[in-house]
Amino acid sequence: MQDLVNIFVKSIFVDNMVFAYFLGMCSYLAVSKTVKTSVGLGAAVIFVLIITVPVDYLMNQYLLAPGALVWLGAEYASVDLSFLSFIMFIAIIASMVQLVEMIVEKFSPSLYASLGIFLPLIAVNCAILGGSLFMQQREYQSIAEATAFGLGSGIGWFLAIVAIAAIREKIRYSNVPAPLRGLGITFVITGIMGLAFMTFMGIKL
Amino acid sequence: MAANEREPLFSPKNLKLITNPINVDNPITKQVLGICSALAVTVKLEPAIVMSISVLAVMAFGNLIISLMRNGIPSRIRIIVQLVVIAALVILVDQVLKAYAYDVSKQLSVFVGLIITNCIIMGRFEAFAMANKPWPSFLDGLGNAFGYAWILIAVAFFRELFGSGALMGYQIIPDSFYDMGYVNNGLVILPPMALFAVAAIIWVQRSRNKELIED
């Protein structure tokens, strides 16, 4: 249980997707103009990460990793399909996003309306694929750990985009040098926020 | 008419496809695409160069393939088709890197895989390759990859020079400097510094080219 909490807290603060690895920067910069839309996108990212990371974990464990096909019979023990992981992961992410979109549309039209165009965009958000690839690289031991990691990184991303959106709403009233307006100042702010988040790095969990 | 249809391979219009993305229409500083990987691999020059070459290969051939298939792709499932094309190319690149440049491939870790979701590639597929002939698409891919590459290499150059006093792993700043009390700037190696560096590039570029300024 303690391990799970560790992984969860670590993936929110220490290994924050945006500030430590720059994942999902494209949508982070493009959709962070108002707090309202960024909350929607952040929620959608959390949602998709909780689903795709465990599914990709099972995929990796029983299909792709070296020796994963052992359940088919002893003669498959030497098969290593890990070179296929990119294509499998992205296919799972794309189809999961499609599935989630259909389910949400069917059962919760209000949530669907508020997430709007963000759901399909998530398929190409690097934070999602990055989550699965980090999960594979760090070799989590159980599906619970993978889920904790997925949830934690989703929440970390959510925090980052909501924070930057709030700052960008305020900065509209500031006198930023003209060439830095928009993109430039957002980079600088993200950098400063990243420095702030680095203080968590010393925490040993 | 028949004579006019065959324009030369490097007509001015085609050359613009290469030169535009390098400066005024740069994928990173103007179109805001492909930033994730641009920032993460720029601590040292070598991974940045390898990453640029990988993106260049995926980009140019991906654009070419999508452009060849553009009339056969149903628009409803085009995202999946594009993802499969990119993923297949990225697997090729990844396997080549693992075979011939294992150390760099370890340093790049997940970021080779993340070329798949690099928005530059999807963005150019959507914006250009789906609507243009193969050759211009190929050039557009090259141009955008060059635009991406020079920012990556510029950022990596400064970060490695000031962060570890070396370039490509060879020490550049002489020992006598260190004896006189020069110290490597540890801040430059930290992730946030990449953001400041790109912001500086944007600042310079936009103050030289006023029409890029956002209101």
Mean pLDDT in consecutive groups of 10 residues from the start of chain B, 215 residues? 55 77 75 75 85 89 88 79 87 89 81 80 82 86 88 87 80 80 80 85 84 68
Residue B169: phi and psi, rounded to 5, are: 90, -10
pLDDT of A42 reads 86
Minimal Cα–Cα distance from B98 to chain A, Å? Answer: 11
pLDDT of B4 reads 46
- Chain B hits for A195, CB-CB cut-off 8 Å, are 190, 192
Whether B35 has its CB under 8 Å from any CB of chain A: the answer is yes
Rounded distance, CA B164 to CA B174, Å?
12
∠ Cα B134 B136 B138 (to 5°):
65
**Which strand (E) or helix (H) includes residue B204?**
helix B192-208
- Chain B hits for A182, CB-CB cut-off 8 Å, are 214
∠ Cα B86 A29 A150 (to 5°):
65
Q: Map A72-132 to HEC letters.
A: HCHHHCCCCCHHHHHHHHHHHHHHHHHHHHHHHHHHCHHHHHHHCCHHHHHCCCHHHHHHH
**Within the 36-75 window of chain A, which residues sit less than 8 Å (CB to CB) from chain B?**
none
Whether B70 has its CB under 8 Å from any CB of chain A: the answer is no
Whether B182 has its CB under 8 Å from any CB of chain A: the answer is no
Rounded distance, CA B51 to CA A21, Å?
16
The single-letter code of the amino acid at B111 is F
Question: Which residues is B167 bridged to in the sheet?
Answer: B170
Hey, are the CB atoms on B34 and A91 less than 8 Å from each other? no
Domain count, chain B: 1
For chain A, list residues with pLDDT below 50.
Answer: none
Q: Which domain holds residue B66?
A: 34-209
Helix axes B134-164, B119-127, angle to 10 degrees: 160
Hey, are the CB atoms on A182 and B88 less than 8 Å from each other? no
- Chain A hits for B118, CB-CB cut-off 8 Å, are 126
pLDDT of B206 reads 84
**β-pair type (B166-167, B170-171):** antiparallel
pLDDT of B2 reads 42
Residue B26: phi and psi, rounded to 5, are: -60, 135
Q: Note the maximum CA span of chain B.
A: 72
Structure tokens at A8: 């969860």
The gap from C-alpha B38 to its chain's centroid, in whole angstroms, comes to 7
Of A94, A177, A194, the CB nearest to B191: A194
Secondary structure of residue B118 in the 3-state scheme: coil
What is the pTM assigned to this prediction? 0.83
Of B122, B191, B206, the CB nearest to A22: B191
**Within the 130-169 window of chain A, which residues sit less than 8 Å (CB to CB) from chain B?**
130, 133-134, 137
User: Does the residue B186 lie in any domain?
Assistant: yes
ipTM: 0.78
Of B32, B95, B190, the CB nearest to A183: B32
Of B29, B87, B204, the CB nearest to A86: B87
